[in-house]
């Protein structure tokens, strides 16, 4: 089954994806500043945990105290965070014609819960497309980094960061496969470049979309 995807007619929906420690939040912030300076209204947001309910979900899925979760439970919790995030924040901002920049979205679930865990990819994708009404970013910036390098940046690890290196290697490949399957909607960058280099490449691509 193929999922055609829905693209917002108003506003611009941008997403940052990638493994741990690739500088997504830094780059998302820099892009938000750049677009604000260009006079655009920008909503800078993230998953999981941007809404009130989402914060509770984030606590459950990331706290090491939660311990083991069934793969389906974990996937459904992330999917619920997405549904809430879209309803309360993302769609309203797009309808107002704003630029929405989200740090993580559906691809994170396809990579972490799909490629990382043992869920059947097509089934998981169906759940996620349903949860989000299949709304897709106009552009996803994938900050690609060797997980062995990315994970060294954390002294304390949450439930997901604490997974073994093999898990994070599958996640990385999952992201790269998603980008390769739909090159038009992705910008894949080597996250080991300097902050300035990476920001310049993102800025150039996004400004072309405005």
By C-beta, is 98 or 112 nearer to ligand TMP? 112
Residues 120, 116: Cα–Cα separation, whole Å: 11
Largest CA distance in the chain: 46
- For 138, list phi and psi in degrees, rounded to 5: -65, -35
Q: How far is the CB of 208 from ligand TMP (least distance, A)?
A: 26
Q: Residue from 13, 78, 175, 186 that binds ligand TMP (CB under 6 A)?
A: 78
Listed residue (103, 121, 101, 122) closest to 111, CA to CA: 121
Stretch that binds ligand TMP, among 109-117, 118-126, 131-139, 184-192 (CB under 6 A): 109-117
CA torsion 43-46-52-55 (nearest 10°) is: -160
Peptide linkage before 48 cis (omega within 30 of 0): yes
Among residues 104, 136, 168, 172, which is the contact residue for ligand TMP, using CB under 6 A?
104
21-50 residues in contact with ligand TMP (CB under 6 A) are 46-48
Determine if 112 is a binding residue for ligand TMP (CB under 6 A): yes
The residue ranges that bind ligand TMP (CB under 6 A) are: 20, 46-48, 62, 78, 104, 108-109, 112-113, 160-161
């Amino acid at each position: 089954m193929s999922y055609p995807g829905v693209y917002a007619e108003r506003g611009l929906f941008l997403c940052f994806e990638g493994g741990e420690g690739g500088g997504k939040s830094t780059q998302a912030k820099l892009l938000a500043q750049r677009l604000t300076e260009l006079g655009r209204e920008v909503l800078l947001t993230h998953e999981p945990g941007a809404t009130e309910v989402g914060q509770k979900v984030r606590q459950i899925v990331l706290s090491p105290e939660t311990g083991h979760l069934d793969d389906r439970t974990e996937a459904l919790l992330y999917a619920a965070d997405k549904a809430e995030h879209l309803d309360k924040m993302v769609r309203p901002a797009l309808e107002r014609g704003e630029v929405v920049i989200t740090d993580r979205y559906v691809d994170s679930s396809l990579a972490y819960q799909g490629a990382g865990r043992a869920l059947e990819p097509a089934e998981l994708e169906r759940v996620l497309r349903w949860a989000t009404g299949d709304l897709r970013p106009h552009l996803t910036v994938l900050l690609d980094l060797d997980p062995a390098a990315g994970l060294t940046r954390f002294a304390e690890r949450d439930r997901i960061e604490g997974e073994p290196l093999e898990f994070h290697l599958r996640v990385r490949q999952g992201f790269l496969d998603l980008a390769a399957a739909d090159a038009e909607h992705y910008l894949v960058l080597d996250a080991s470049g300097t902050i300035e280099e990476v920001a310049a490449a993102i800025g150039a691509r996004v400004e072309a979309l405005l």
